[in-house]
Amino acid sequence: MTRKRIFKIFLYVVLGVTAILFALYGYTYYLFTYAYTPEKPVTAVAGYIQPETAIRHTTFTACNWKAISSYYSNEASKYKQDKNHFKMFVKQHYNNNNYTDSGYVTFRFIINCKGLAGAYQVYKNSLNLRPQPFNEAIVNQLLQITSSYNKWRPSYKNQTAHDAYTHLTYKIENGQITNIMP
Residue partners of 90: CB distance under 8 A and separation at least 6: 145, 170, 177, 180
Residues 130 and 86 reside in one and the same domain = yes
Mean pLDDT of the chain: 83
Listed residue (64, 171, 43, 169) closest to 110, CA to CA: 64
Q: Is the pLDDT reported for residue 72 higher than 80?
A: no
pLDDT at position 57, please? 60
Question: Span 22-35, mean pLDDT?
Answer: 87
Give the C-alpha separation, 182 to 104, whole Å.
12
Residues 29 and 90 reside in one and the same domain = no
Residues 160 and 89 reside in one and the same domain = yes
Is residue 59 situated within a structural domain? no
The sign of the dihedral angle between the CA atoms of 105, 121, 140, 115 is positive
Q: Which pLDDT band, with edges at 50, 70 and 90, does 172 fall under? A: very high
The reported pTM is: 0.69
Is residue 140 situated within a structural domain? yes
Total tally of structural domains belonging to the chain: 2
Most confident option among 48-57, 68-77, 171-180 = 171-180
Range of the domain at 87: 71-181
Residues 76 and 31 reside in one and the same domain = no
pLDDT tens-place string over residues 30-62:
888 877 776 776 666 666 777 767 776 667 787
Residues 26 and 95 reside in one and the same domain = no
pLDDT tens-place string over residues 84-118:
888 898 999 998 888 888 999 999 888 888 888 88
Question: Span 120-128, mean pLDDT?
Answer: 90
